[in-house]
Amino acid sequence: MLSFIHSQSLSSVAGLVKMGLVLGCLQVDQSTVAIKEVFGKYDEILEPGCHCVPWFFGNQIAGYLSLRVQQLDVRCETKTKDNVFVTVVASIQYRALAEKAFDAFYKLSNTREQIQAYVFDVIRATVPKMELDTSFEQKNEIGKAVEEELEKAMSAYGYEIVQTLIVDIEPDERVKRAMNEINAAARLRAASTDKAEAEKILLIKKAEGEAESKYLSGLGIARQRQAIVDGLRDSVLAFSENVPGTTSKDVMDMVLVTQYFDTLKEIGASSKSNSVFIPHGPAAVKDVASQIRDGLLQGNAAQS
List the domain boundaries for the chain.
9-66, 70-171, 173-241
Q: Compute the Cα dihedral for 36, 38, 39, 41 and give only its sign.
A: negative
Q: How distant, in Å, are the alpha carbons of 96, 235, 288 from that of 65?
A: 8, 121, 122
Residue 48 near residue 29 (C-beta atoms within 8 A): yes
Say what the pTM is.
0.53
pLDDT at 275: 60
Cβ partners under 8 Å of residue 147, min gap 6: 161, 163, 164
Nearest 5°: phi and psi at 136? -70, -40
**Gyration radius of the chain's alpha carbons:** 53
Query: Which residue numbers in the chain have pLDDT < 50?
Result: 1-2, 4-6, 9-10, 12-20
pLDDT at 176: 73
Nearest 5°: phi and psi at 59? -80, 140
Nearest 5°: phi and psi at 84? -115, 125
Burial 165-204 (b: 16+ CB within 10 A, else e): bbeebebeeeeeeeeeeeeeeeeeeeeeeeeeeeeeeeee
Cβ partners under 8 Å of residue 112, min gap 6: 72
pLDDT at 278: 61
Angstrom distance (rounded) from CA 220 to CA 98: 98
Torsion of CA 124, 130, 133, 136, to 10 degrees: -50
Residue 136 near residue 186 (C-beta atoms within 8 A): no
pLDDT at 22: 57
Burial class (CB in 10 A: 0-12, 13-18, 19+), 222: exposed
pLDDT at 276: 58
pLDDT at 284: 59
CATH superfamily of 70-171: Band 7 domain (3.30.479.30)
Angstrom distance (rounded) from CA 145 to CA 121: 11
pLDDT at 298: 60
pLDDT at 13: 40
